[in-house]
Amino acid sequence: EWPDVSVFAFLELLVHPTVRRGREQKEYRDLINDALRADHHELVENGQISGQPTYSIQRTHAVTGRPKNLIFASSGPKPEIGFRDSINNDVVVLKNAEHCLVFEESLAEGLTWDALVEWWARREGQEPNSSETRKSLGRRLKESLASPPERFLFDHYFRCFRGTLGAALPALLPQVFLHYDPKTLAELRARGENRRFEAQRMDFLLLLPYGARIVVEVDGQQHYSTGVEPSARPCPATYARTVRGDRFLRLAGYEVYRIGGYEFRDQRLARETVSEFFTRLFRRHGLIP
């Protein structure tokens, strides 16, 4: 029956360095955060006293609403989408369904790789515990990846974290439709119209517990320049479209992270980049200590 401000003050004092320090403080912080995240709050370090961290409870900016479907792994022409039942938001792919995957099962607690494999096994009539089922899903997802940096990120993600996270490993979904315009850019231009959305697909999406949605973009030169090498030129208008799209996603509650394609020019640097990024991301969201 306490007001939130009193509850928050009490929980913050439980992990205050005058009460607990070191390992015990961290254990209490993690325990409290496990309870708070369901309501989109968490204890966040906000200062120090004598070298020991202090914490305050802050709201996490999760996306509101419940995921109802995913259209992803697009490997060909854009799917034409309609509604089987617009009241229930039941989506149906009317054309080019063979070039994409549609996931329509419950996503209340995020989406793990194991859950995606089970869905794929039901869809394809395969054995869910078979290594070949996992490999066939991996092959299908990689068909949608457009560049060597994207393929490297996808492969190294599983090599690096499958053993660490096991059944809790989040599914890394490639080429996911977010915004959708039934018209192609060429059709809009023919009618004298501009694009209605800055970008319709995300390079990668992770759906984590408690409503966290993580967008990972691997940026080639098309995100900040026009033309192709060696004659490509920086283009402020192109860059402005990129960052404008990021703003809208962040304001909607998505976390957006961009990795430059240049960071994949060297295999060692690329491995370090992918490993460090996902390690810090999963630690931030409490998936690893």
Predicted confidence band of residue 87 (pLDDT cuts 50, 70, 90):
confident
Residue 222: predicted pLDDT: 58
Residue 33: predicted pLDDT: 92
* Cα–Cα distances in angstroms (integers) from residue 10 to residues 3, 15, 29, 40, 57, in the given order: 11, 9, 13, 18, 10
The pLDDT of residue 223 is above 50 = no
Instruction: Please state, in angstroms and rounded to a whole number, the distance separating the CA atoms of residues 179 and 200.
Output: 5
Which pair of structure tokens corresponds to residue 99? 């070039």
pTM of the complete model: 0.81
Residue 127: predicted pLDDT: 95
The pLDDT of residue 229 is above 90 = no
**How many other C-beta atoms can be found within 10 angstroms of the C-beta atom of residue 246?**
18
Across the range 102-112, mean pLDDT stands at 86
| 195 vs 125, residue with greater confidence | 125
**How many other C-beta atoms can be found within 10 angstroms of the C-beta atom of residue 187?**
11
Residue 274: predicted pLDDT: 96
208 burial (CB, 10 Å; 0-12 / 13-18 / 19+) is: buried
CA 222 to chain centre: 21
Residue 227: predicted pLDDT: 58
Q: Which H or E run contains 109?
A: none
